Amino acid sequence: MALLAMDQLAWAVAGVRPGFEVGTAEEALRAILGRGLVAVWAPSA
């Protein structure tokens, strides 16, 4: 349940601000950061 709550919060946070993007794996998070965006981790995967 805690992981589900973290996942839902990640999507909520990313939807609030432009430039925030959700990633579910380390490689996705690194790619997001590489594009100059803010990476928000969602542990759904």
Q: What is the pLDDT of residue 12?
A: 95
Tell me the whole-structure pTM to 2 decimals.
Answer: 0.82
Q: Dump pLDDT digits (tens) for 36-45.
A: 999 999 998 6
Per-position b or e across 4-21, b if 16+ CB within 10 A of its CB: eeebeebeeebeeeeeeb
Domain boundaries, the chain: 2-41
pLDDT band at residue 25 under the 50/70/90 scheme: very high
Backbone dihedral region for residue 21 (phi beyond 0: left; psi -120 to 50: alpha; all else: beta):
beta
Q: What is the pLDDT of residue 36?
A: 98
- From 33, 38, 39, 42, select the one nearest 10 (Cα to Cα): 42
Please provide residue 42's backbone torsions phi and psi, each rounded to the nearest 5 degrees: -115, 115
Q: What is the pLDDT of residue 44?
A: 81
**Across 4-29, average pLDDT:** 94
